[in-house]
């Protein structure tokens, strides 16, 4: 996962999957998974975070271009990209010297689950609050956040399960 | 000075985060206002082209229903022509010359290549743009009723602000009367829109048809919108009427863009100072 080509491949595949497949699902009329945030989970931890923040922002911005949503995706993915390090420290208790060896796959399932669920919930909450942009139907925001998070997380864990076992 | 450099060194990630967050939030707020989002929209060359390619593949699935709609519309139009013919032959023998007759609207056919309906601020993308004479603030309709208003154009694509957008405000009236109100959307159900400010004395019944009122320069008069599904009577200040759309907004194919040839003249008359 450390090679630039792999990251580019991840970036492009998540982008096109999100735009052409997952933006059109509309399960039960309104539930869409936002799987492009997997980029934040899989991008390797590094001392210098500027490129990572920039790539996450660009991914969100391009998805915004396609879904006519201004800068909502860009802002929400940028937030979790910035908060990621805090949660890595909180859940996995890593210090700077551990960063090059950190892999989500090799961590225990419980810790990974907490980490992924927290970041997904934060992202979806920010996204739906901005997409709603009023306090009018705030209950709707929370419902959307929960339903979409469940969908996203299901897809993420199924995906990791399938791809790790096929090796 | 050293303090300052030290400060930047220490908080560089946070400052970079703030910079990017500021850019994205500025884009978000701009996008919420009609006409302002020139930068981020799905009608530019790259996004429009990709959507067109994707749509060319997926449109085969809907060909059958699209054909049925076109056949129904043809039947309706043929019936109108037949009615007019009998009027012309029986009452007046002079044929109306369509060139001399003052034409008010022109219609351009277009294809929807990107459709949203599940968000609060929905936009569509169509495959016609400035090269085909599409401008801002033109009505978009299909055979079943209204769809939206164009809000951004590039050379060969245009973005349409859907009726399912909380910023949409469209003049609408009860069919066969002149009681009119403003049509908007509360962002909840993509089948239902809300008609507000319609006078209390209007004879509203559930099942009545609502159509466009023709009191704006965008929509022609009498284009179908939907039927009344719920009337909110009571002592509230707003007289809200729920309208079920004829259009299934989740399943749209070909549309017409309506150009009002008198628009500039009317606008000049109403706002002579601009």
The architecture in CATH of the region B108-270 reads Beta Barrel (2.40)
In contact, B111 and B126? CB cutoff 8 Å: yes
Whether residue B101 has pLDDT greater than 60: no
ipTM for the assembly = 0.83
B251 touches chain A (CB under 8 A): no
**Set of chain A residues whose Cβ sits within 8 Å of the Cβ of B18:** none
Inspect the interface and report whether the beta carbons of A131 and B119 lie closer than 8 Å: yes
In contact, B222 and B180? CB cutoff 8 Å: no
**Set of chain A residues whose Cβ sits within 8 Å of the Cβ of B188:** 137, 140
Tell me the nearest-neighbour CA distance from B89 into chain A, angstroms: 51
Kindly give the pairing relationship between strand B145-153 and strand B105-115: unpaired
Inspect the interface and report whether the beta carbons of A61 and B188 lie closer than 8 Å: no
Measured distance CA(B166)–CA(B186) in Å, rounded: 6
Q: Which among A26, A57, A64 is the nearest to B40, CB-wise?
A: A64
What is the structure's pLDDT at B75? 77
In contact, A73 and A61? CB cutoff 8 Å: yes
- Tokens 């010297």, located at residue: A97
Measured distance CA(B105)–CA(B260) in Å, rounded: 5
pLDDT band at B135 (very low <50, low <70, confident <90, very high): confident
What is the structure's pLDDT at B13? 87
B118 touches chain A (CB under 8 A): yes
What is the structure's pLDDT at B99? 53
What pLDDT, in 10s, does the model give residues A53-110? 999 999 999 998 888 888 889 999 999 999 988 888 888 888 878 777 887 777 888 8
CA dihedral over A140, A143, A147, A152, signed as positive or negative? positive
CA A88 to chain centre: 14
Residues within 8 A of B (CB atoms), A 31-90 only: 32, 49-50, 53-54, 57, 60-61, 64-72, 74-75, 78-79, 82
Rg (CA), chain A: 16
Report the share of chain B in percent with pLDDT over 70.
85
Tell me the nearest-neighbour CA distance from B253 into chain A, angstroms: 15
Q: Which among A50, A74, A133 is the nearest to B32, CB-wise?
A: A133
Token couple for A39: 């980029």
What pLDDT, in 10s, does the model give residues A136-145? 778 888 988 9
Please name every residue paired with B121 in a beta bridge, in sequence order, or none if there are none: B165
Residue of A70, A77, A134, A141 to mutate, interface with B, max B Cβ within 10 Å:
A70
pLDDT band at B91 (very low <50, low <70, confident <90, very high): very low
What SS3 class is residue B228? strand
Q: Which among A50, A71, A131 is the nearest to B25, CB-wise?
A: A71
Token couple for A29: 């009329």
């Amino acid at each position: 996962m450390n090679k630039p080509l792999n990251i580019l491949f991840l970036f492009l595949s998540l982008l096109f999957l999100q735009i052409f497949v997952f933006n059109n699902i509309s399960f039960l009329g309104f539930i869409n998974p936002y799987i492009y945030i997997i980029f934040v989970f899989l991008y390797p931890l590094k001392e210098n975070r500027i490129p990572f923040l920039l790539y996450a922002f660009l991914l969100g911005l391009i998805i915004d271009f396609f879904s006519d949503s201004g800068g909502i995706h860009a802002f929400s993915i940028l937030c979790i990209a910035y908060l990621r390090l805090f949660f890595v420290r909180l859940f996995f208790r890593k210090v700077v010297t551990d960063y090059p060896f950190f892999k989500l796959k090799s961590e225990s399932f419980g810790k990974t689950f907490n980490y992924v669920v927290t970041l997904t919930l934060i992202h979806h909450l920010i996204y739906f609050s901005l997409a709603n942009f009023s306090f009018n139907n705030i209950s709707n925001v929370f419902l959307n956040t929960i339903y979409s998070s469940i969908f996203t997380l299901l897809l993420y864990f199924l995906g990791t399960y399938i791809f790790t076992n096929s090796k | 000075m050293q303090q300052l450099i030290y400060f930047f060194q220490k908080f560089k990630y946070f400052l970079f985060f703030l910079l990017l967050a500021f850019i994205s939030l500025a884009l978000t707020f701009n996008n919420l206002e009609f006409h302002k989002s020139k930068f981020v929209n799905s009608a530019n060359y790259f996004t429009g082209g990709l959507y067109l390619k994707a749509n060319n593949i997926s449109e085969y699935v809907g060909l059958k229903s699209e054909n049925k709609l076109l056949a129904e519309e043809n039947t309706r139009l043929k019936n109108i022509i037949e009615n007019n013919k009998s009027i012309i032959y029986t009452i007046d023998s002079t044929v109306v010359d369509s060139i001399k007759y003052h034409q008010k609207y022109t219609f351009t056919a277009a294809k929807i290549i990107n459709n949203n309906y599940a968000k609060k601020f929905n936009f569509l993308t169509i495959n016609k743009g400035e090269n085909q004479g599409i401008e801002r603030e033109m009505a978009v309709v299909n055979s079943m009723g209204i769809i939206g208003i164009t809000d951004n154009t590039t050379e060969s694509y245009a973005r349409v602000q859907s009726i399912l957008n909380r910023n949409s405000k469209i003049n609408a009236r009860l069919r066969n009367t002149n009681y009119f109100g403003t049509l908007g959307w509360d962002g909840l159900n993509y089948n239902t829109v809300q008609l507000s400010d319609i006078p209390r004395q209007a004879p509203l019944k559930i099942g009545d048809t609502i159509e466009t009122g023709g009191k704006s320069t965008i929509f022609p008069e009498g284009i179908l919108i939907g039927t009344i599904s719920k009337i909110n009577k009571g002592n509230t200040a707003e007289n809200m009427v729920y309208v079920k759309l004829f259009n299934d907004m989740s399943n749209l194919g070909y549309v017409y863009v309506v150009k009002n040839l008198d628009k500039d003249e009317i606008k000049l008359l109403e706002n002579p100072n601009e």
